[in-house]
Amino acid sequence: MRQREGQHHKSLSLVKYPARGLLKRTKRVETVTDSLRDTMRTMVTTMYSNQGIGLAATQVGIDLQIVVVDAGDGILKMINPVIVKRDGTDVMDEGCLSVPQTVVRIKRAKVVTVEYLDEWGKRMCKTFEGLTARAIQHEIDHLNGRLIIDYLPWYKKMITIRHLRYV
Ligand code: ZN
């Protein structure tokens, strides 16, 4: 049975660095099912309860290409998202729920056009900008096993990784 959005209060536990699951590429979703929709609703709850603006499946131990984002423009649920166009650049400090106490300044596209399936399996192609565009790029990185620390120069990455072992 499907639950309605407002009735859903489950939350998933977050996977944190250096968990191996965060470092691998996720599998494409082949079929959009009720169970997948349920998973995405739980991911939204988990994102909100951790004050996140985006969450990728790998961050809750799920090996599938799904992300949820709410960076102030409403909830976005994306299945198999692919960036098909990038415009402009923008530099901003980013944190990650899976990489505690770490902030990395990252240059990303300012505007992105993304192809994905919505939660009903409908093929979408939309253009996003601002914080939403940034969050989407961050979450799609997760689906490819890429983390914010991968944007650091190697020596800073070494220091950060060493530090993360003790947090
Ligand atoms: Zn993240």
pLDDT by 10s per residue, the chain, length 167: 443 444 456 889 999 999 999 999 999 999 999 999 999 999 999 999 999 999 999 999 999 999 999 999 999 999 999 999 999 999 999 999 999 999 999 999 999 999 999 999 999 999 999 999 999 999 999 999 999 999 999 999 999 999 888 76
Calculate how far, in angstroms, residue 9's C-alpha sits from the geometric centre of ligand 1: 22
Report the CATH superfamily, name and number, of domain 20-164: Peptide deformylase (3.90.45.10)
Calculate how far, in angstroms, residue 82's C-alpha sits from the geometric centre of ligand 1: 17
Surrounding ion ligand 1 within 5 Å at CB are 96
What's the pLDDT at 9?
61
Calculate how far, in angstroms, residue 125's C-alpha sits from the geometric centre of ligand 1: 23
What's the pLDDT at 165?
81
Calculate how far, in angstroms, residue 96's C-alpha sits from the geometric centre of ligand 1: 4
Calculate how far, in angstroms, residue 94's C-alpha sits from the geometric centre of ligand 1: 9
**Active-site residue set:** 139
Calculate how far, in angstroms, residue 64's C-alpha sits from the geometric centre of ligand 1: 15
Residue 74 — φ and ψ, nearest 5°? 95, 170
